[in-house]
Structure 1
Amino acid sequence: MSAQSNSAGQTSNEAGPSASGANGSGPRQLAISLITRSPTDAIPSSTYFIPASWKRYQLSELINKVLKYPTPVPFDFLINGQVLRGSLEAWVQRNRGGDEEGTIDVEYVRSLMPPEEVGRVEMEDWVSGLSLARSGHILVSSYLSHVQILPLTLDAGSAFDAATHTLPLPTTLGATCCTWLSPPSATTNLRLAAGGVDRAVHVFTLPSLDPSSSTSGRELFTLMGHTGPISSISSSSSGRELVSASWDGNLHLYIMPEDEPTEHQLPSDPTTYLPGQKRRKKMKEERGPIEGLTDGDIGTEGWRRAPELIMRGHKGRIGSVAWDKQDTNKTWSGGWDGSVRGWDMETGACTVVRQGSADKSILAMDQWASNGTIATGSMDRTICLWDTREASSLISLTMPTTSPVASLTCHPTSQYTLCTATYSGAVQIWDVRSPKNALFSFRKQRKNAGSAEKERKFNEKGKVFGERLLACDWDGKVVVAGGEDGEVGIWRASG
């Protein structure tokens, strides 16, 4: 069956030539085949003769009229894996040298709507880590050496209140990252973790997320052994195993017991490099505040634990680590040496090495659960995709940005989209099928619209809050981002 479409997006049973209208006059037309992977949005298989001047809007209007949707649904269109940015005619000129013969296969997908800022929460210091792994809550770590849980509601007129739970680290040197350990199905005796500048990973236990609970959380384990600040942490699906990456160039695997122990595995260790700091040597001394800076709120340390495995291989600092989303026995790491490495969690052996450019210092990493592809963000202002299934493949795709990528998260269900946060203060959403430009680039709106320049902010200790973003997360419906500005921005971003 062939159908000819007029400029209003309607279809008829007449088929016209590809270069002109049916009577030899009128707008030039191109033969296209419209296909989709969504069974709910599929239209009858056919060759459609479309005016060459049509762009995304007219094509989307055609799909809606054929499907008779009562409320218009916006679509994006892809040709040979690239998002159609201009007219069909422009695509033919650019990719076929003006040759209009032959049918063009056009895939259509539902559009990602532009993100909408819905609120922000002010913190007391730089935001270093964010997680949306538990619905209705934002897990935040900061350089105030706190891990906090914020309520998340997107109802109209909702207020973004202060943290419902605050868990202080036993040092004031700052928390660098955070993650949930307990799976989303758990509701009581929850565990979460934060990495610190003090070279330790701090694991907390929380009775529940009920803000009215009279019992507060506390630090359960202090995971030790690194000789440099913790840069990234990731947990297994069970939450019992945690792998940490550090500036010392090593990865550590920790296996935490279900029951609380009664003694330390390691002696106490100072958490700062301050001269003259006393070193506690006794193994079984009563737990209390760790020595160090004393100008802030600090908690008590947990039971000190040693790593089960130490994994070495990176030449320099490690920027990020991610537990494999398809193989529970594997983790991935990205280093400042430009390499991506895969590790066996039973033996600690490095089983995969993908060496990129030596100047491609990797700061962030995540993995698509659907196809196992690794995405990294680097200091050289690029986003790279690594197909680790191909033995000879290094980087399968490179997307340029205008600033170093400090944080990156892949869409939880789509294999094509990801979100990044950059040092320039911009949050960007990308579609890997259109790698030249981000789909959306947005940042927090200035509170004083009439101000030509955002007023510089200072905290109570005199630290200046800048624009660099250090962390972001995306659960498919909500994007959160934060950094040196001391705020957690919240956007509605479904797609």
Structure 2
Amino acid sequence: MDGAASLQQVQIRFFTKQEQYAVTDAPTLVPVSLKRYGLSEIVNHLLGTPDTPTPFEFFIDGKLLRVSLADYLRENDLSTENVVDVEYAVTVRPPSDLGTVPHDDWIAAVDLAGDAIVSGCYDGVVRVFNKSAELVRTLNSHEGPVTAVLASASVENAARLFSGSHDQTIIEWNSDDTAKLKYIGHEGSITALAASAADRVLYSASWDGTVKAWKTGVSEDGMDEDEEASAAIELSGKRRKGATPTKAAATTFLGHTGAVMAVAVDQRNPSVLYSAGWDHTLRVWDAASTINTSNQNCNKPVNSMDHSVPSGLLATAHSDSAVRVWDLRTKDAAAMKLTMNTKQGWVSSLSWSDNSPFMLACAAYDATIKVIDIRAQAPLYTVKEAAEGSKVLSCKWRNGWLVSGGEDCTLHIRSCA
């Protein structure tokens, strides 16, 4: 930038959706040479916190500002006479390592709920840790690798835990680490689990090409979960003493022509269910009737999917390095809002941050995890998880905690807020 250009100024109007950081909306005259750091200094000065500054990111027209104001104006053919509206938000800090926990085999699935971190492992064991990385529960009833785990809160706000396996079963666990119920009916490995916010319906995806719905905590005899807990073994007289009670699916969703790798409930509207898989489709279902209401062509196999409660958007992870973002509330052909090339190779898992409508983490076979702001359409941070060639198989980002695991047989616990 030449000397004359560096002296140019432009009026900008700051605004934010984070009310605790709001400043005056009067236009402020600033040098066009400023980038993120300089703009952050101005906002902190307006907030009266120059000695304890908060780092901010800046956005213009919904896109992350990664160049100077001068470069932005030039790239968008704007004059310095324009007043530019600039949104700002607190910067998500880089993931910070908090601890690691060695496992006996590959970690295929992880989840977070409250203070609990759950891992599902190829040794067939489900493990529960606290956030100090201390093992607090060991659950061992599966007869094959554990490939899906789900820890969630019930209507009574008590933790509930489910796991799915290569043994084609799903287990609901008691608080004393014994199997409460075994859900049977799939004819292939379980790939993913999801639950409605009320926690009374569990959904499972499988290599058999189906999604199934299960009424949790209620026996086939119509008993509620308290009655079943006290009389589970005696219900029919047909179960051998000490056996885990079994349940059949309430409904089955048919339509996929390949393995179903992901299932998600729309937590804003639990009557809507999403599934995706290796038939290259993302499907929308009416959860009550099992009617397939719409389909989206994903172009490539889908390995993972997550629904964002803050934004209502879906994100899917693919084998072509891509993460695709969808708004299936729209009825037009533009449901796919964004395709990002993560340059990670096979993207195995992804998870939205539950604290932001824009941030997600994705894990891949290149041994990395990337933190992405969809407004930037590029990774903000890249974390090298393990040695080259050691695939990351699962990640979960909730409440400022990012956990992951894979072929390095290690549970990684990080803060990311």
Q: CA deviation at 1:192?
A: 1.2
Q: 1:147 aligns with which of 121, 126, 144?
A: 126
1:126 aligns with 2:106: yes
Structure 1 equivalent of residue 146 of structure 2 = 175
Aligned length: 403
1:443 aligns with 2:384: yes
Rate the CA distance shift 1:52–1:170 in 2: closer, same or farther, 3 A: closer
Give the secondary-structure state (helix, strand or coil) at the position aligned to 1:191: strand
Give the secondary-structure state (helix, strand or coil) at the position aligned to 1:485: coil
Q: Which amino acid aligns with 1:418?
A: L
Q: CA deviation at 1:330?
A: 2.2
Equivalent residues in 2 for 1:28-427, closer than 5 Å: 28-69=8-49, 70-96=51-77, 99-134=79-114, 136-153=115-132, 160-161=133-134, 163-171=135-143, 173-183=144-154, 186-187=157-158, 191-206=160-175, 216-256=176-216, 257=218, 258=225, 259-260=227-228, 261-262=232-233, 284-286=238-240, 302-357=244-299, 360-392=300-332, 393-402=334-343, 403-427=345-369
Q: CA deviation at 1:178?
A: 0.2
Could you state the TM-score of these two structures normalised by the residue count of structure 1?
0.77
Q: 2:407 aligns with which of 481, 484, 488?
A: 484
More strand by share: 2
For residues 18-39 of structure 1, what are the alpha-carbon distances to aligned partners after superposition, in whole Å with 9 as ceiling and x for unaligned?
Answer: xx99xx9971222222222222
Give the secondary-structure state (helix, strand or coil) at the position aligned to 2:249: coil
Q: CA deviation at 1:50?
A: 1.6
Q: Which amino acid aligns with 1:399?
A: M
Which whole-Å CA distance do the structure 2 matches of 1:242 and 1:149 have between them? 20
> Where does the alignment leave 5 or more consecutive residues of structure 2 unmatched?
219-224
Q: CA deviation at 1:64?
A: 0.7
Q: Which amino acid aligns with 1:140?
A: S
Give the secondary-structure state (helix, strand or coil) at the position aligned to 1:396: strand
Give the secondary-structure state (helix, strand or coil) at the position aligned to 1:63: helix
Which whole-Å CA distance do the structure 2 matches of 1:331 and 1:146 have between them? 29
Which whole-Å CA distance do the structure 2 matches of 1:334 and 1:310 have between them? 15
Which whole-Å CA distance do the structure 2 matches of 1:305 and 1:40 have between them? 49
For residues 401-450 of structure 1, what are the alpha-carbon distances to aligned partners after superposition, in whole Å with 9 as ceiling and x for unaligned?
Answer: 12222111111131111111111111111111110x21111124x7xxxx
Q: 1:467 aligns with which of 390, 395, 398?
A: 390
Which whole-Å CA distance do the structure 1 matches of 2:416 and 2:234 have between them? 47
For residues 34-84 of structure 1, what are the alpha-carbon distances to aligned partners after superposition, in whole Å with 9 as ceiling and x for unaligned?
Answer: 222222222222222221211111110011111111411111110111111
Which whole-Å CA distance do the structure 2 matches of 1:106 and 1:122 have between them? 45
Which whole-Å CA distance do the structure 1 matches of 2:198 and 2:364 have between them? 31
Q: CA deviation at 1:313?
A: 0.9
Which whole-Å CA distance do the structure 1 matches of 2:349 and 2:15 have between them? 34
Identity of aligned residues (%): 29
**Which of these two proteins has the greater Rg computed from alpha carbons?**
1
Q: CA deviation at 1:150?
A: 0.8
Q: Which amino acid aligns with 1:64?
A: N
The CA RMSD measured in Å over matched residues stands at 2.4
For residues 83-105 of structure 1, what are the alpha-carbon distances to aligned partners after superposition, in whole Å with 9 as ceiling and x for unaligned?
Answer: 11121111122222x74442222
Could you state the TM-score of these two structures normalised by the residue count of structure 2?
0.91
- Residues 6 and 31, structure 2, Cα contact 8 Å, conserved in 1: no
Which whole-Å CA distance do the structure 2 matches of 1:175 and 1:264 have between them? 28
Q: CA deviation at 1:237?
A: 2.0
Give the secondary-structure state (helix, strand or coil) at the position aligned to 1:327: coil
Q: CA deviation at 1:356?
A: 2.4
For residues 226-279 of structure 1, what are the alpha-carbon distances to aligned partners after superposition, in whole Å with 9 as ceiling and x for unaligned?
Answer: 1111110111223221111001110111113113244789xxxxxxxxxxxxxx
Which whole-Å CA distance do the structure 1 matches of 2:399 and 2:383 have between them? 17
Which whole-Å CA distance do the structure 1 matches of 2:110 and 2:179 have between them? 19
Give the secondary-structure state (helix, strand or coil) at the position aligned to 1:90: helix
Which whole-Å CA distance do the structure 2 matches of 1:51 and 1:286 have between them? 79
Q: Which amino acid aligns with 2:25?
A: S
Rate the CA distance shift 1:103–1:125 in 2: closer, same or farther, 3 A: same
- Residues 122 and 145, structure 2, Cα contact 8 Å, conserved in 1: yes
Rate the CA distance shift 1:339–1:92 in 2: closer, same or farther, 3 A: same
Rate the CA distance shift 1:88–1:386 in 2: closer, same or farther, 3 A: same
Which whole-Å CA distance do the structure 2 matches of 1:178 and 1:238 have between them? 18
